Amino acid sequence: MTGTPPLCAAPDPDPRAPAFDVPAGACDCHFHIFDGPSPQVAERSYTAPPAPLPAFRHLQRTLGLTRSVIVQPSVYGTDNRTTLQTCVADPAMKAVVVIDEDTPPDVLASCREQGAVGCRVNMLFGSNAQIDSLAGLARRIADHGWHLQILGDVSALHDSMDAFAGFPVPVVFDHFGHLAAAKGVNDPGFTALLRLLGDGHAWVKLSGAYRLGPAGPKTDAAVADLAAALIAANPDQLVWGSDWPHPAIPQQEMPNDGAVLDALAGWVPDTALRNRILVRNPARLYGFDDDA
């Protein structure tokens, strides 16, 4: 790679409160921190803006969220120090890290002790992580009780999607499966995702909707159709995430996180079901205490 990858816009510093009552124990299941000791790797696809923990805490308070899951971003590669240092000090936070296939067992154990509950494979953005076999990686993490988190476009993975059913760990797909929303619910990769979800072999994050197409009512309607199909398939294995601070998104204006959370209420107008997605489902997946 030549030159410095483009600098992403900073998040909106003034999130507004959501328009609905957020339940106690609600969890943001996908956010990043860009601060601290981890350097941004040369192989990255973008340059992250500053996004320190105090800014995320302000977001949490404003949205009424009490639990969270920090996700290792691609720009830090396999250096999980920033992610784990953020997590270890907060009993209401879990972490998803990035590892190689040859990461030593003692390092995996140390990550688990610092709050890691899963590892992420990023198929879309550049990193220095070296992974040749998803099945092999799943076997490595199974003894730690972790899940495998996939950032990949399911429309490009449709020939291999059914293999995830045989993995010895839960498989979590970021951002609706990250297919272009205009491809619709009948896309072969998305229908494979629906099968996995319906059979209990997959989880899906209702997050990053702005990554799925150009801003506007056509994309909004298409995303709503995807959400409806996922809910019909298995609402008990869906979770929500803000995707703060929204790095590398295909739009100039950064979203306000109050509107990001309100989008969930649009997709899931039933209060009881929405509360399951915000509280009970992430408690099961990430191992939070059941008491909210």
Q: Looking at the annotation, which residues are catalytic?
A: 243
Rounded alpha-carbon distances, angstroms, from residue 149 to 96, 188, 248: 8, 20, 19
> Edge-to-edge strand order for the sheet containing 27-31?
27-31, 67-71, 93-97, 116-122, 147-151, 171-173, 202-206, 238-240
Burial 144-170, CB ≥16 within 10 A → b, else e: bebbbbbbbbbbebbeebeebeebebb
Task: Give the CA-trace dihedral at 35, 172, 263, 292, to 10 degrees.
Answer: -80
* Lookup: tokens for 87: 């997590």
Helix axes 257-267, 53-63, angle to 10 degrees: 40
Task: Give the CA-trace dihedral at 136, 285, 182, 245, to 10 degrees.
Answer: -100
∠ CA 147-153-159, nearest 5°, is: 85
Alpha helices in 25-76 (DSSP H): 53-63
Alpha helices in 89-234 (DSSP H): 105-113, 134-142, 188-198, 217-233
User: How many whole angstroms separate alpha carbon 169 and alpha carbon 85?
Assistant: 25
Q: Cβ–Cβ contacts within 10 Å for residue 105, how many?
A: 10
* Lookup: tokens for 11: 């998040």
Q: Cβ–Cβ contacts within 10 Å for residue 261, how many?
A: 26
